[in-house]
Amino acid sequence: MALYKSEFGENFNLGFNIEDFPWLTDKSWHNDMCPSFYFKMGIQHLVLWVDFEAPDDREESEERYLVMTAINEGTDNEPEIFTSEDSEVVFTTESPSELTTYLKKLASAY
């Protein structure tokens, strides 16, 4: 079972097919507000947060999908990717199709 499903429930709907983006690494943790996935583009680590489908189920986020800059507090072989106070939002949307278009553009750029 996928980590995000074990942390947030088997029925959690990402709104997109995770298998289309094998470079997304699931880093979901039940103490977070929603599932998250990290990836690296060039030298920059990024985290994709995927909030609940229903806005009423969300704690803070207005948009369902959020991509933020992140830092690696580990090593290249054993990464520990985190967002921090200095992290910047680089993309946000409510639309699964806008998210997949964004992710595909990122992947083709690198």
Locate 73 and state its tokens: 């507090």
Confidence check: pLDDT of 94 > 90: yes
Q: Print the domain residue range for 18.
A: 3-109
What confidence tens digit (pLDDT) does each residue in 15-45 have?
Answer: 999 999 999 999 999 999 999 999 999 999 9
**Structure-derived torsion over alpha carbons of residues 46, 61, 15, 8, reported in degrees to the nearest 10:** 90
What confidence tens digit (pLDDT) does each residue in 70-91 have?
Answer: 999 999 899 999 999 999 999 9
91-103 mean pLDDT:
98
Alpha carbon 63 to its chain's center: 13
Per-chain mean pLDDT for the chain: 95
User: pLDDT category, 103, cuts 50, 70, 90?
Assistant: very high
Q: pTM (2 decimals)?
A: 0.95
Domain count, the chain: 1
